[in-house]
């Protein structure tokens, strides 16, 4: 799924361009430049990969190859409400995979993707350290223990209702 750049992304990309222009060149700068780009944008869109490739005078495919090798880099923008489903041993044994599948189905995206409105993104994480509460999911910064497939829809709905309420409050002022 390719996301179009928002006005905010474009502003960050413009600022990134200036930073990259001032950065040293050389193959050893590839990972630091990718980290700089991701810190600025939250992810690595095609335009950022092209900036890095042009600055280092290397092929864009080589930049993508390095970025895709390391799991610290992401190619989709993070959602405002990132959903992280624990896949540690306790969570896995207690149905973490089913919880993940339910989030994917409800949000109509796959793991590693972000909804078109950039409200949600989904990722699996190795362990959140709350094994006694397995299975566990984090929605934003809120931990939800003893997750059940039936809880997924309610969590998503709650986030959407809170967003709508905040938008109505903002419109009143």
Q: Write out pLDDT tens, residues 86-98.
A: 999 999 999 999 9
User: Annotated binding residue at 130?
Assistant: no
| Number of residues that make up the chain | 173
SS3 83: strand
Same domain flag for 86 and 64:
no
Same domain flag for 41 and 99:
no
**For 59-82, what is the mean pLDDT?**
93
**Tokens matching residue 109:** 């995206």
Q: Please tell me the predicted confidence (pLDDT) of residue 2.
A: 59
**Tokens matching residue 142:** 């809120």
**For 107-131, what is the mean pLDDT?**
93
Same domain flag for 98 and 161:
yes
Stated pTM of the model: 0.77
Same domain flag for 164 and 96:
yes
Q: Is the pLDDT of residue 112 over 60?
A: yes
**Tokens matching residue 35:** 């980290």
Q: Please tell me the predicted confidence (pLDDT) of residue 97.
A: 96
Same domain flag for 33 and 92:
no
Same domain flag for 108 and 130:
yes
User: Annotated binding residue at 86?
Assistant: yes
**Tokens matching residue 73:** 């880099």
Q: Please tell me the predicted confidence (pLDDT) of residue 19.
A: 93
Same domain flag for 65 and 99:
no
**Full residue range of the structural domain in which residue 61 is found:** 7-69
The rounded distance, in Å, linking the Cα atoms of 150 and 157 is: 12
Within 10 Å of residue 124's Cβ, how many Cβ atoms? Answer: 17
**For 75-102, what is the mean pLDDT?**
95
């Amino acid at each position: 799924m390719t996301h179009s750049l928002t006005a905010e992304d474009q502003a960050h990309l413009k600022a990134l361009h200036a930073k990259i222009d001032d950065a040293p060149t050389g193959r050893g700068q590839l990972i630091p430049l990718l980290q700089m780009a991701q810190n600025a944008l939250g992810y690595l869109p095609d335009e950022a990969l092209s900036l890095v490739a042009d600055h280092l005078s290397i092929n864009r495919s080589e930049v993508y190859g390095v970025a895709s090798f390391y799991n610290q880099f992401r190619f989709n923008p993070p959602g405002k409400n990132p959903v992280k489903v624990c896949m540690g041993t306790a969570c896995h044994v207690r149905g973490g995979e089913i919880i993940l599948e339910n989030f994917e189905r409800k949000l109509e995206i796959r793991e590693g993707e972000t909804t078109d409105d950039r409200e949600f993104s989904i990722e699996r994480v190795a362990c959140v350290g709350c094994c006694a509460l397995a299975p566990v999911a984090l929605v934003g910064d809120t931990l939800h223990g003893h997750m059940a497939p039936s809880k997924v829809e309610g969590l998503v709905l709650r986030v959407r209702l809170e967003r709508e309420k905040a938008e109505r409050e903002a419109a009143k002022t």
